[in-house]
Amino acid sequence: MSDTARLTAEQKIQKVLDIHEVQNVMSRHAYYHGLGKNAEELEAIWVKETPEPTFAQNQGYFVGYESINYYYGELCRMMQRANLKLLRQHYPELAESDDNLGVGTLLMHPLTTPIIEIAGDGETAKGMWYSPGQVTEIMPPDYKPVAHWIWEKYGVDLVREKGHWKIWHMHVYTDFFTPVGESWADLTAEAPMGVGGPPVEMPRPDIEEETYKVYSHTQLPQDLPRMPEPYRTFSETFSY
């Protein structure tokens, strides 16, 4: 008998509701990030009380809310300000005001093919998604908007805080980041750390570790992130 078959009707309903709510949290992430509202995202849907949240990309991990808030939240706003200054060199009619932060950018990271597992104790959840997206950012050398394809996978741990699902660990695995109009098989840029090109100093990850490789002609597809599997409690599973 499967684990699901052992659940009561009430438990099955709760699991379905939890999966739906987890998907909604991740969809909110996509919309917040698409609007350049990373700081608002951190406030609304990330953990505040659970120890050691992490945000990871191909180059490594940012650990702890303060570190994540700076890299993912504050730095985003700093880049928006720097981008606006650069863009005004081409469009001087743009006012240098907070109302124009994010002008010229268009970010889309849709989430597809979800696999979501809710812990048996109902306190944590794991999920993975494909994200075929695009990033239009102010880029060198001309510091004008440039469109890129960016295809990624997400591995995410969530935890229930005060009755609501919150992001705890988010790991973004970038397969390629390539200018629109060019083949990613011919040209694949390095996986971005805070996509864009303004003169803003990028912090190094707290844990520097190559966790994933961008596409190349000489490597097999990578079986990462690991697919979520049924588990009873978080101490019995892996972490993204």
48: left (phi over 0), alpha (psi -120 to 50) or beta: alpha
pLDDT at 140: 86
- What pLDDT score does 146 carry? 94
Task: Decide: pTM greater than 0.85.
Answer: yes
Per-residue pLDDT of the chain (240 residues; tens, 9 = 90+): 457 778 899 989 999 999 999 999 999 999 999 999 999 999 999 999 999 999 999 999 999 999 999 999 999 999 999 999 999 999 999 999 999 999 999 999 999 999 999 999 999 999 999 999 999 999 888 999 999 999 999 999 999 999 999 999 999 999 999 999 999 998 766 656 555 555 678 899 999 999 999 999 999 999 999 999 999 999 999 999
Distance between CA atoms of residues 161 and 127, nearest Å: 17
Residue 152 has a pLDDT of 98
Please state, in angstroms and rounded to a whole number, the distance separating the CA atoms of residues 156 and 233: 16
Show the domains of the chain with their CATH numbers: 4-236 (3.10.450.50)
Report which DSSP code applies to 236: G
Q: What is the pLDDT of residue 201?
A: 81
Q: CA-to-CA distance for 135 and 79, rounded, in angstroms?
A: 14
Bridge partners of 37, per DSSP, are none
